[in-house]
Amino acid sequence: MNDTISRLLRELRLSGMAESLEVRLTEAASSKLTHLEFLELVLTDESLVRGDRRIARGIKRAGFRDVRRLEDFDFSFNKSINRQRIFDLASGRFLRESKDVLLCGPPGTGKSHLVQAIGHAVIRSGAVVYYRSIFDVVRDFLHDEVNGGEERVLSRYLKPDLLIIDDMGMKQLPKRSGEYLFEIIMRRHEVRSTMMTTNRPLEDWGKLIGDVPSASAILDRFLQSAEIMKFCGKSYRLSGEKNPKGTKAPTGSDADKEK
């Protein structure tokens, strides 16, 4: 590859093509590829590199707590989980229908792993995802409220194709939490999809939020079109058995990541 081509590829930001061009030139000569066959190969290389970068940016922007994938989840451990339905959600079809999803069940049954894995999968399909724990949600609003930036933080929650709110029910929330959560749910309802996890019964949300009317309004709006998936069975953490891919069940601070 001569200096002129190298410079042009850099100027045009065709780094994928630049990385593979020498190899493709050798391949073209040895295999006697036509011009069209050669062009198809280098364009495919560029497309793959750009796709990988887009996915990497999407995962970073999502803010996942962990990198979780469906292929790493041991469905045989907890047979109460509808594997087919989880993979259907990972296809992203529910996003096109602006449907919401609620995963309910005790801690340790795989809810957090699966919502992050579903988020990872739909990013690969081109969706924009934003992941936050319920505590992050409240902290974001409290911080920006002090600094007069409520609309700015709200926009971060309204724009994504999929908003994932994790850990509802881990502890009681600060005052005004219900107002923030209701604003998000109300503004996204039937416009963008929201996925939530909870380890507490829905009737306890009023106590958790400290505002029964707000909790009722949230659930009334959210559950109108939400699919509810109920998890039960053993906990990965408490069983002492193997976790996905033969790793030991997480303990201590790591256990909080596997809700």
User: In the structure, how many helices (H) and strands (E) does the chain have?
Assistant: 12, 5
pLDDT at residue 252, as a whole number: 34
Q: Which of 85-99, 164-178, 240-254 has the lowest mean pLDDT?
A: 240-254
pLDDT at residue 253, as a whole number: 36
Q: Read off the DSSP letter of residue 164.
A: E
pLDDT tens-digit profile of 183-231? 888 889 889 999 999 988 888 877 777 777 778 888 888 888 789 998 8
Q: How many whole angstroms separate alpha carbon 223 and alpha carbon 230?
A: 14
Among 66-70, 151-155, 222-226, 231-235, the range with the most confident prediction by mean pLDDT is 66-70
DSSP-H helix ranges across 63-110: 83-90, 93-96
Both tokens of residue 85?
Answer: 């339905």
Q: How many whole angstroms separate alpha carbon 196 and alpha carbon 228?
A: 10
**Contact residues for 170 (Cβ-Cβ < 8 A; gap 6+):** 107, 134, 135, 199, 259
From 116, 113, 139, 138, select the one nearest 129 (Cα to Cα): 116
pLDDT for 39 beyond 70: yes
pLDDT at residue 259, as a whole number: 46
The predicted model scores a pTM of 0.79
CA atoms within 13 A on the CB side of 55: 14
Both tokens of residue 18?
Answer: 């630049």
pLDDT at residue 178, as a whole number: 78
Residue 100 Cα to chain centre, angstroms? 14
Task: For residues 138-155, give the mean pLDDT.
Answer: 74
* pLDDT band at residue 124 under the 50/70/90 scheme: very high
- Which long-range contacts does 77-81 make (Cβ < 8 Å, 24+ apart)? 77/234, 77/236, 77/239, 77/241, 77/243, 77/244, 78/109, 78/110, 78/231, 78/233, 78/234, 79/233, 80/109, 80/230, 80/231, 80/232, 80/233, 81/109, 81/110, 81/114, 81/229, 81/231
pLDDT at residue 242, as a whole number: 47
Q: How many whole angstroms separate alpha carbon 51 and alpha carbon 200?
A: 39
From 138, 183, 139, 129, select the one nearest 159 (Cα to Cα): 129
Q: Which of 3-17, 139-153, 163-177 has the lowest mean pLDDT?
A: 139-153
Q: Read off the DSSP letter of residue 257.
A: G
